[in-house]
Structure 1
Amino acid sequence: MQIRDMWRIYSHVVLLLVVVSSTYCSAVNETKFVNTDKSKFKILSVFGHLGKSHFDVFKPLLEELARHGHEITVISYFPRTDSAKAKEPLPNYKDISLVDPKVGVYVNVVDLHQVSHSRFFLATQLLLLRSMADFACQTGLRHPLITEFLRRDEKFDVILTENFNTDCFLGFIHHFKAPYLALSSHQIMPWTNEDMGNEDNPSYIPNIFFGLTRPMDLIDRMKNAVTLLLFNAAYDYWFRPADQAIANEVFGPDLPELSEIARQSRALLVNTHNSFHGSRPQLPNVIEVGGLHIPPKVNPVPKDIAKFLDSANDEGVLYFSLGSMIKSTTMPKEKLDAILNVIESIPRKVIWKWESDESPRKMDNVMTRKWLPQFDVMNHPNIKCYLGHGGLLGLSESVYIGLPSILIPMFGDQFHNSAAVKTRGAAIVLDFNNFNEQYFRQAVDACFNDTSYRENAQRLSKAYRDRPATPLETAVWWTEYIARGNGIPYLRSEGADLPWYQLHLIDVALVLIIGFAAFIYIFFRLIKLLLSLLKGTAGSQAGKTSKRKKD
């Protein structure tokens, strides 16, 4: 073999070694941000509220946890349907169904004749929250399946339950002695912020009970601050004692104070996003997963709906839905006539969730359906405007897609959600009490023809979507993180354990005020004494001078 051939072989071997070595080093130094823990956990999820939208927010999380191999037990009024099971069997997803035909759930139950935004509206809202809490606790905790379930000797790695209008379901935390992950299907309730020690400053953070736009003026800040104090007081001294009574019956007299259990929350998953509801300080264990319910893909709509939408001209289509709880067919006649008169006169098509087989008025440009695949319909390119009530699920979908909105809030957090999107310039908000034909016609014209609303909606959509991970990925990670228990000792805010007067530095302020007052008092006493001494000295000197003159 010639020297030249040997040199060629040698150089190839050296090159190969260099490539292999560099590849190995690269693989060693590469950082992979993945969860390598393959543990399978037992997870209990408790949803005692009868509102479908509250459960629908977190349903994707529960099913995804089951896909990850975790054993999920779900207590709710919304068990998986037979069709869902046939489409995707999840043998490790177990329902404990609270469904009772005599009870029903909160679907198509709100009669719009009963909706009135009077001066006592906030008091009515508080009474509604309390009555729903009483009903949920009485019917849910006394269900025979719950009684049977509590007799079992089961162990869970983590418990998930919603923080809304009652603490009575927190008895499960004490009973099973498991870490607790709180859930919120809407902006955080003020008492939940208080329990976690999360910032809730009324000077610039609008509370969930008012539809206040940012920035707030003096009157708004006064209303915001007073309402926050009153609702927190009502929850502490009215809601919690009633919850405690029923919880003690079910979970035993040794049950600790529910307020104490509430403060044991390891983290909170909340269905908001700063682009939507505004920027605010959050604890590191308060995690925004707004849009968690939004599916990863758009499905084809039924053929009849597709044909109707496809045939729309360049003027576009209005999508009209008042959500799962409100029954559109109960709309007061004068308001319904105003809507129909405008819809009938515009050169656009309208697709409308209407809970009756019979349309309110025969119109060629309108399609009504008892149920609509909302997200899929909203994604049709011919849908140009969303007319809704400000419910967070539908509004989040419109924000995600980038649709401008016309919103008529009725109750609950709908005012707050509507105001948040209005602040972003992507929605027109109408007052239900003063709703009329002219009012509505102007809103429809602006939604379709004022390009600023669409531009702002598209801008908001980009910000809402742009995140380091999807809401579902984030929620799954945090659930598994709490179940693993590694961060549990470090997550809790010390502010949650402070009494209110220490948290707001009232004791520090009093000490400083008393100390300053004492200093001022002593200072003036010393000045007075000094002046008295100087006056006495001056008088003595004057007397001596006078005596010398006489001498």
Structure 2
Amino acid sequence: MKMKEETAILLLAFALFIAIGQIATVNGSRILGIFPHFGYSHFKVYYPLLRALAERGHHVTVVTHIAALNETKPANYEELLLKGRETTNMITFADVLPHRTLYDILTEINFVHNEGQKACKRLYESVYVDKIFKRHERKPYDLVITEYFNTDCQLGIPYLLQLPVVGLSSCVLMPFHYDRIALPDFPSYVQSEFVGFPEVLKWHERLLNFLQMKLLKHIYRYRTNY
């Protein structure tokens, strides 16, 4: 009987040892979100992801113009709110630029470019960039999440911090971002968002689609990101 009791105790101790060995300590990552664009409709796409990451235990710090879209947010979701630009919910070029000529497309990309440059200025003139670097020295971030839209100036931050980047887009991918992710583009029949013809392209529309696709890539590379 004594032998059986000792055996049972040993088996129980062994089972407890195995169970305890399966317990792992889980630490949430420190995630930095950088969203310098002022568009509410853009950030509305990203916020559910950022909030979900915080709810799952990650420490999320977000540089943005837009406050949390809920009255309450997780305690580990921090906002660094940019100033100097009124947020816009939605803007359409249907009334401003109703036609889709090459001139209109270049006018539109010039507007997008100028807004991107202003967003960069507001980001780097804020106190938050310096704050991010000081925090990273004390307790490093693990990941940067940002938007691929009308500027890449914010990518200088993860470059200097030597952090991986996750790029998101709230709209159809811009023509100048296809090459970045090695995504083939076929302007002969796949329309750019700047063209937006509702039907199958005619010959002259295919030509316009091709020209603007190639032009916008060079403009973004040699003007916006120069």
TM-score (norm 2): 0.79
The residue aligned with 2:127 is 144
- Aligned equivalents of 2:25 and 2:225: distance in 1? 39
Say whether residues 1:92 and 2:76 are aligned partners: yes
Counterpart residue type for residue 203 of structure 2: L
Spell out structure 1 runs of 4+ moving beyond 6 A. 108-112
Percent of aligned pairs sharing the same letter = 27
SS at match of 1:182: strand
1:161 to 121, 128, 146: 146
Deviation at 1:38, TM superposition (A): 5.2
Task: Rate the CA distance shift 1:228–1:60 in 2: closer, same or farther, 3 A.
Answer: same
Deviation at 1:175, TM superposition (A): 2.1
Residue-by-residue CA offset, 1:54-94 (whole Å, 9 max, x unaligned): 1000110111111111111111011226x612xxx411111
The residue aligned with 1:484 is none
The residue aligned with 1:104 is 86
Residue-by-residue CA offset, 1:145-174 (whole Å, 9 max, x unaligned): 333333331412221100001010001211
Task: Rate the CA distance shift 1:158–1:131 in 2: closer, same or farther, 3 A.
Answer: same
SS at match of 2:195: coil
Say whether residues 1:181 and 2:166 are aligned partners: yes
Deviation at 1:111, TM superposition (A): 10
Write out aligned runs for 1:218-367 (5 A).
218-241=203-226
CA RMSD across the alignment: 2.5
- Aligned equivalents of 1:42 and 1:62: distance in 2? 12
The residue aligned with 1:481 is none
The residue aligned with 1:44 is 32
Deviation at 1:110, TM superposition (A): 7.8
TM-score (norm 1): 0.34
SS at match of 1:84: coil
Residue-by-residue CA offset, 1:204-233 (whole Å, 9 max, x unaligned): 211110112453232222111111011111
Task: Rate the CA distance shift 1:202–1:116 in 2: closer, same or farther, 3 A.
Answer: closer
Counterpart residue type for residue 122 of structure 2: T
Structure having the larger proportion of residues in helix: 1
- Aligned equivalents of 1:220 and 1:122: distance in 2? 13
Q: Is the 8 A contact 2:148 2:169 kept in 1?
A: yes
Say whether residues 1:66 and 2:49 are aligned partners: no
Deviation at 1:37, TM superposition (A): 10
- Aligned equivalents of 1:37 and 1:232: distance in 2? 46
Task: Rate the CA distance shift 1:192–1:108 in 2: closer, same or farther, 3 A.
Answer: closer
SS at match of 2:33: strand
Question: Highest CA radius of gyration, 1 or 2?
Answer: 1
Q: Is the 8 A contact 1:78 1:99 kept in 2?
A: no
2:110 to 112, 127, 132: 127
The residue aligned with 1:419 is none
Q: Is the 8 A contact 2:41 2:90 kept in 1?
A: no
How many residues align structurally? 199
Unmatched segments (≥5 aa) in structure 1: 1-35, 242-551
SS at match of 1:72: strand
SS at match of 1:149: helix
